[in-house]
Amino acid sequence: MGDLLDAYEPIDAWDEMFDAAGDTRLDYRALYEHVQTLSKHDFDERCATRDRVFRDQGITFAHSGEERPFPLDLVPRVISATEWSQIERGVAQRVRALERFLDDVYGPGEIMRAGVVPRRLVVTSSHFHRAACGGISPPGGVRVHVAGIDLVRDAAGKMCVLEDNLRIPSGVSYVVENRRAMTHVFPELFAAHRVQPVSDYPARLLQALSATAPRGVDDPRVVLLTPGVHNPAYFEHSFLARQMGVELVEGRDLVCRDNVLYMLTTSGEERVDVVYRRVDDEFLDPLHFLPTSMLGCPGIVNAARAGNVTIANFLGNGVADDKAVYPYVPAMIEFYLGERALLSNVETFMLDDEDVRSWALDRLDQLVWKPADGSGGKGIVIGPRAEADALEAVRVAVEAAPRSWIAQQPVALSTAPTYVGTEMKPRHLDLRPFALNDGENVWVVPGGLTRVALGEGSLVVNSSQGGGSKDTWVLAPHGADVEHEATAVADGMECEPLARQPFDMLPAATEQAAQQQ
């Protein structure tokens, strides 16, 4: 018998594996019992196998200027079928409302006229591109093809939304590759757990992109636009392009003529119908945004306006994931869908209100401070853990530009056993489920990316800030078949373009198949 978890001591936060009495939670019992059969030597050997798999596959992430294997902790996070059903419905509801919001603010602006969302917040967002995007109706009415909704579990065990990512959310490649690595490292665990698959994500992404091609295009050509090999997420770009069986292109590979987009190939120009872009708005089209950018393609926005190409995700989505707009999402859900929000927001304070700002600044060291247009964890100052000079810098910045900041109540992110050095330690984590929207249905990949703050006491889980990840296991409902699904994405294989059909009609893929690669 091993003793890996014998010395594990939960801290003052909700622990995913153990309850307040120290007993193993029901959904974790099989995992706990198996981990306890392993010695530290056994676990270290599994870690070595993981590193070898990642190294052989070239699974890396750029951090501090160097390529590193993506940190994967081998103790998975387990989510019950019942809880996942609630998360899945809440994420899909949120994506539908945000899609409606984007269509509205770039169109009639009904939610602003109704006073539900203040017009000043929308028009002052640095990601609101009315001049470039106003009046454009994207094919299928879809602006949010891919969404990443960041969730955290609070001290009471309740899941709530920390932020929305609707521009170019990243990390899904690690969801798929983490699962594939786990089937090599712990194949016996999958026999003891009925885990819902994630490996069909690329096929479903291709389906969503193809379903939103311009009208009249029956066999759309899809490409993935990358900024290039120096981008921190380049591994993901190449992975998704390879798994979807589409071309990975850079801006120099594309040309627009007469509002039609073409790809340059060795056999001549070939028309492009859908661009899954991983290039920020500001760099996508020098005719409308940064004129010196070489990362995008001049004229691509005009081609989209003419209805000749689909850009996914569409331009201007950042106004909907602006952190100053985030507090209004529950109201958007009621306004557009006539429903109550299934997932709550973290308590957030709007600092452009003088009274609220004064109250918050009096509690500078008690709140979390975030730039409204920030991403990747950059610029966040956690008051209770910050140095005096950092807090004073926040005070100055907030007073100078209150619209550019929000404050939130700290959330004691839940923890889970994580192998640090040679011991299991509690580490804080969050969850980023990924949702795909094909214009008719919103599908949420079962589990998503669990990100882990590897530093002791740290609450910053972002990979770009040194965080790691866990495989997220969503258990299948009783009676569901997860053992005989057809493989949609196999290592080294390309996906055939899929016919336009609802997500629930697409073939799924098993982790058993990944294990056999």
Alpha helices in 293-368 (DSSP H): 300-305, 329-332, 354-361
Cβ density class 314-325: b for 16+ within 10 Å, e for less: bbbbbbbbbbbb
Q: Which residues contact 125 (CB under 8 A, 6 or more apart)?
A: 318, 319, 322, 324, 325, 372, 373
- DSSP letter string, 406-460: EEE------EEEEEETTEEEEEEEEEE-EEEE-SS-EEE-SS-EEEE--STT---
Whole-structure pTM value: 0.89
* CB of 73 closer than 8 Å to CB of 419: yes
Single-letter amino acid, residue 89: R
Cα gap 153→86, rounded to integer Å: 13
CA 366-370-372 angle, to 5 degrees, is 145
SS3 509: coil
Q: Judge contact between 417 and 75, C-beta under 8 A.
A: yes
The one-digit pLDDT tens for each residue of the chain (517 residues) are 567 898 899 998 999 999 999 999 999 999 999 999 998 999 999 999 888 888 887 776 666 666 667 789 999 999 999 999 999 999 999 999 999 999 999 999 999 999 999 999 999 999 999 999 988 999 999 999 999 999 999 989 999 999 999 999 999 999 999 999 999 899 988 888 999 999 999 999 999 999 999 999 999 999 999 999 989 889 999 999 999 999 999 999 999 999 999 999 999 999 999 999 999 999 999 999 999 999 999 999 999 999 999 999 999 999 999 999 999 999 999 999 999 999 999 999 999 899 999 999 999 999 999 999 877 667 899 999 899 999 999 999 999 999 999 999 998 899 999 999 889 999 999 999 999 999 999 999 999 999 999 888 888 777 666 689 999 999 998 766 554 333 333 333 333 333 334 444 343 333 333 333 3
Which H/E stretch holds residue 152?
A: strand 146-153
For 446-478, how does the pLDDT look when each residue is reduced to its tens digit (9 = 90+)? 999 999 998 888 887 776 666 899 999 999 987
Domains and CATH numbers, the chain: 26-346+411-515 (no CATH), 350-410 (3.30.1490.270)
DSSP-H helix ranges across 316-387: 329-332, 354-361
Quote the CA–CA distance of 498 and 72 in Å, as a whole number.
32
**For residue 231, is the peptide bond before it cis, meaning its omega torsion is within 30 degrees of 0?**
no
Write down the number of H helices and E strands in the chain: 16, 23
User: pLDDT for 379-419, tens place per residue?
Assistant: 899 999 899 999 999 999 999 999 999 999 998 899 999 99
